Structures are given as C-alpha cells and as structure tokens.
Amino acid sequence: MLKIAHYAYLQTMITIFSKRLLNYAEFSALIQQPIEEILPTLKNKGLDNIIQKLTQSHFKLLPAGNMDNLFLSVLLDDARSIIRSLSGYERDIFIYWIRRFELKNIKTILRGKSLQRSKEEVLAELTPLGHFTILPVDVLLNADNIAEILTLLEKTPFASIARYGSKSFEQKQDVFTIETALNHQYYTGLNKQLRVLSDEEQSLLQPLLGRIIDQTNLIWLLRYRLCYHLSPSHSYFLLVSGGYYLNSKILVQLSQITKLDQLYSMLPNEIGSLIKHCESIHQVELSLEKDIIQYAGNMLKESVFSLTHAFAYLVFREKQLSQLHALFKGKLLHLSDNEIAFAIGDSL
C-alpha cells in the first residue's frame, strides 16, 4: 500500500496547486483573447509577479532573459514547496529533476569559455536558481580552461556527470562532445534515481518519466542525424535507456534514418500517431510535449494519491508555463492567433 497518511500534507498541497493549471479548452481560449483580457483570467494561478511586471511595462515586451527568469521562478517556487514536504529518496528525485536547470548553466559556462567570452557576458546569461543554486559560479567563471572547469565540477554534486564529460573531452576536445556527454549522463542518473524508489512508486512514475525520455531520445536522434550528421552508431550511443515505447531495438533502427519522413513508419503507433502530420523536428517536439501534458493531467485525476501526482504536477506546470511564455511573447509581438497557436503546437 502507498503511504497515504505519509503523503497527506503533500496531497493537500498538490490539490491546491492543481487549481493553478489550465485545461486544454481554457488555454485554447486564451490564444484568441487580447493580452489585457488574458491577465485577469490568470489571477489566482500563481502568476502574480508576472502579471505585475507586464502591467508595469504597459504590455511592452520585456528583455528575453527577464521574461524567462520570471516564468522559471514560478516553477522553482512550486518545486521548493513540494521538496520541503519530502525526505530521503523521494526528496532526492525531485531535487535531481530541478538540477536540469543547473546543468544548463554548466553548458553556458563551458560555451562561454570555449568562445573566450568575458566573465560578465557569461554571468548575464546564467539562469538564477535561488535556493537551488549549488554551483560555485565565480570559481567556475575564473577557471583557465574547459578542462579546469570539469575538474572543479568534480567537487560538486555533478561529480559523476563531470567525470563522464572529462573522458569525452579527452577523446575529442570540443564543447558539443561535452554537452552530449553531460546530457547522456544526466538522464542515466535520473533512471538511477527512479530505481531507488519503492516498486509501487516506480511502476506509477515510469510511464510518465518514460514518455519524457522517449521524447528526449527522439529529438536528440533527429538532431544528431539530420542536423549534425553524426553516424548511426554515434547517434545511438548518445541516447539513454528508460524509454516507455522506444526500446533499444527500435532506437537502433531509428538511428539509420536520413530523412524525417522515414521516421513515421518505424515508430510504434503510440508515438507515430502523434507525429504523423509533423513536417519539422520542432513540430515533432511540440506534438510529444502536448502528449506529455495530457498524460500528466490524466495522472493528476487519479483518485489514489501517490508521489507521482507531485511529479506529474511539476511536469504539467513547467510545460504549461512554457506555453504561457510563448503566448505572452506572441501577444506582445502582435503575432496573429494562428501564428501563436502554431508556435505553441496548438491549432485553431
């Protein structure tokens, strides 16, 4: 039996937080409204700071970094509340999930060093993570070279990821190789985090996490093969295990593609049916995002509460915040409703 009493506080929190989410019909309706009408609709959705900033700017487009950080801060506040209610392995997997954003900062620092950008330029592009910050940013920015950055990272919670990146850098000294290695090792670690949970929690969480890994693998594979023109074997090597529909046998076959339209007949119907009308990698990504949002939303409706409800909430919240960000940006740039819908992966 799941620890229902143990999750009582978390269940109450997620029940309250879930009221901040918009269903498909509510979100689609926003696309057709002027921004002045959208903001009142989003009252009590935990977006007060964003609404205030947009109102103060008289609905002018905020600098890209400022806008990104405002939306991320909403997600981080929710995550912090959830994490404080947990302990042990359950707490660890949520912290690890949020560390994706710190991993993004590591990549920014590595790219900055490779391009010989100034410390100030790189610092301006880093994502502020507040209480979730674990990187010694100043120390990393003052490192002499990429090898030193990776060595310094071995003294942080990213040690195993950094060591893996160092080995890749020794073999082929370019930032792209390091980034793919870091991505691979992060998701490998995520699978390890999942396996230390109870069997019951694993069985509930794996379908959602597996869909996320399927999406990650498929988008990586398409970029590796069609954009960077890596070999089939190299592309496959950079993928991770733990997908829900895309097992190793399917991924080996997919790694042979040379054109996007070769993909559709090779996919399981559960994924193929979602992307059969897609004409670009971006459209494939948006279609899979939409499916993940729908699945996470369905999980939140399950009557028996579990840890997976909290994870599903964070996944849904993050992806919907990304859509709202795109919606606001489109409105502030005076794009048409159809253009905004297309960018979000919806249709009017």
- The tokens describing 230, both together, are 């890596």
In percent, how much of the chain has pLDDT > 90?
Answer: 70
45-50-52-54 Cα dihedral, nearest 10 degrees: -130
In percent, how much of the chain has pLDDT > 70?
Answer: 97
Contacts of 24 (CB under 8 A, 6+ apart): 294
Distance CA 245, CA 271 (A): 8
| Crossing angle for the helix pair 199-222 and 175-195, to the nearest 10 degrees | 160
Q: Is 117 exposed, middle or buried (0-12, 13-18, 19+ CB in 10 A)?
A: middle
Evaluate if residue 1 carries a pLDDT over 50.
no
Q: Residue 3: which pLDDT band, with cuts at 50, 70 and 90?
A: low
Evaluate if residue 348 carries a pLDDT over 50.
no
With beta carbons less than 8 A apart as the criterion, state whether 165 and 181 touch. yes
With beta carbons less than 8 A apart as the criterion, state whether 345 and 336 touch. no
With beta carbons less than 8 A apart as the criterion, state whether 299 and 309 touch. yes
pTM of the model: 0.92
Averaged confidence pLDDT in the chain: 91
Contacts of 97 (CB under 8 A, 6+ apart): 79, 190, 311, 314
For 310-327, write each residue's pLDDT tens digit. Answer: 999 999 999 999 999 999
- The tokens describing 37, both together, are 């009408």
Distance CA 199, CA 191 (A): 14
Distance CA 33, CA 39 (A): 10
The residue with greater pLDDT, 1 or 109, is 109
Cα separation values, 174 from 180, 229, 232, 239, 271, Å: 11, 16, 20, 19, 33
Q: What is the 3-state secondary structure (H, E, C) of 155-172?
A: CCCCHHHHHHHHHHHHHC
Position 165 scores a pLDDT of 84
Mean pLDDT, residues 129-152: 94
With beta carbons less than 8 A apart as the criterion, state whether 282 and 340 touch. no
